[in-house]
A and B are shown apart, each in its own frame.
Chain A
Amino acid sequence: MATARKSRGESLLLRYLVLGGWALVCLLPILWFLSIGFRPRTEVITPQPIYWPTFSLDAWHLLVSDWPIAQYLRNSVIAVVGSVIIDLILAIPAAYALSRYEFKGREDIGFYILSTRMMAPAIVAVPIFFLFKTMGLLDSVWALMLIYAAINLSLVTWIIRSYMLDIPKELEDAARTDGAGDLTILREIIVPACLPGIITAAVIAAIFAINEFLFTLLIASTSNAYTMSVALANFTGGSDGIIYNAIALVSFIAFVPILILVILIQKHLSRGLTMGAVKG
């Protein structure tokens, strides 16, 4: 898609200056933080910052021995995967209704669903806290799963809706004349046809769920339910202060799967992030 144009107008020098500059801005902090993860604790916070540290797997040993890192990982996975599944089950029929049917209130319902994406977590933080407290769900992975599902539902619905709109109506007419009912059409025709959209929605929802911080902070108060995102904030070693090298290591552990997922859907990224408004 990108044709190489040398004489496009602006000078090559300027272009690569700008792009190269920002690339450095992006990469240097990452590389530096990576180095933090692989250096001994004594070299993390020093009077003069150290740029060429000695290699050490301190952080790794620490993580494995002192912290239930496997637990955090497990919690993250359960909550995230579970919430995405819930979202897909709820969103696919909803997206189908919004995209293929004409009915009274369609615009309003669609807008309401869209607007839940706009809601700041802080607005419902206190009530949700009380709600889960009375339900006895505080500090459980299931509570997190329900919350993540709620946060991402509108996103997933709107992304899938956007892809469903692309399916030609003729396909449904043909299925109907062939004798298929609505649910059969949804299951066998529509869903396979918008599979890229479903995957995109699932990936983006998963990423947002992994990243979620505020609710997780409030709901999960012991390591029973800590996920990776919040566990970071608690890597403190008492009088030693914040254990940065462990934090750095965990950050990269979380980074890799997210990177892979994003590469998977990169063609659909723009369309997914804007819920269909900007097609890539």
Chain B
Amino acid sequence: MNAVRSSSLARATPPAIQTAPDALHLQDVKRSFIAASGNVVQALSGVTVSVRQGEVLAFIGPSGCGKSSILRILAGLDEHYDGRVDWHSGGRDAGQTRLLSATVFQADSTLPWMTIENNIRLGLSGLKIDRSTADERVRRYLTLVGLSEFRTAYPHELSGGMRQRVAIARALAAEPLLLLMDEPLSALDAQTRIVMQQELLRIWDETRSTVVYVTHDIGEAITLADRIAVLHARPGRIKEIKPVPFPRERDVLDIRRTGAFGEMEADLWQMVAEEVGQKL
């Protein structure tokens, strides 16, 4: 488990991201739920982590570890938590011409009653931007995800992978300070997933997004992330944060051929398995 030392890995992380200022900081974030039985169940027991500007931070962990709870808090879908979430470098733009955060959901979240174009435009209706800016963004991000031909199509006319691209374009068009992705590829078949992973790397490279990526797929986390946060099983808290030893411009298939990929995958598997084992 110590085969890959974090000190040697740190060197591989792009220096620009390593020294980048924090985009946001979670300080001792706790979340409890009231179960059907009336008992209070703690889902998160003090999560402290910083997300650096421009980095892709992946959260992995056994199911029920609170990955989604963290994501819902960051998405603004859950306000009943303890602790602090500090957003940095928002500037005047935040909430005006760009959203604090925008989310790509696991399930298909495109609205079937409007065209692809209008789906993306609707995501901008909370921003204070004029019509031409909105038009321009819709066009730019549709092109970025390769769907400009399907502007006027309806979601039910597209494949699952294409619909998820629409959801990605919709989130990107809001130009969020933080892009949240909740297992966005898990509903796709294995081949489409690999193509989409490469697509995501290309898109992030172009948009320089700061990303929090939740997944249960360890290989996907290594493929996409700059750092991987492993969570303890319930109640969730951070067990370890591992830097990924690949440069930002990477090829999905090439990195899979390297020994470092396999080693890291095995390490992370072991960490997650320990957590699951304790709970079984």
A, B in one complex: no
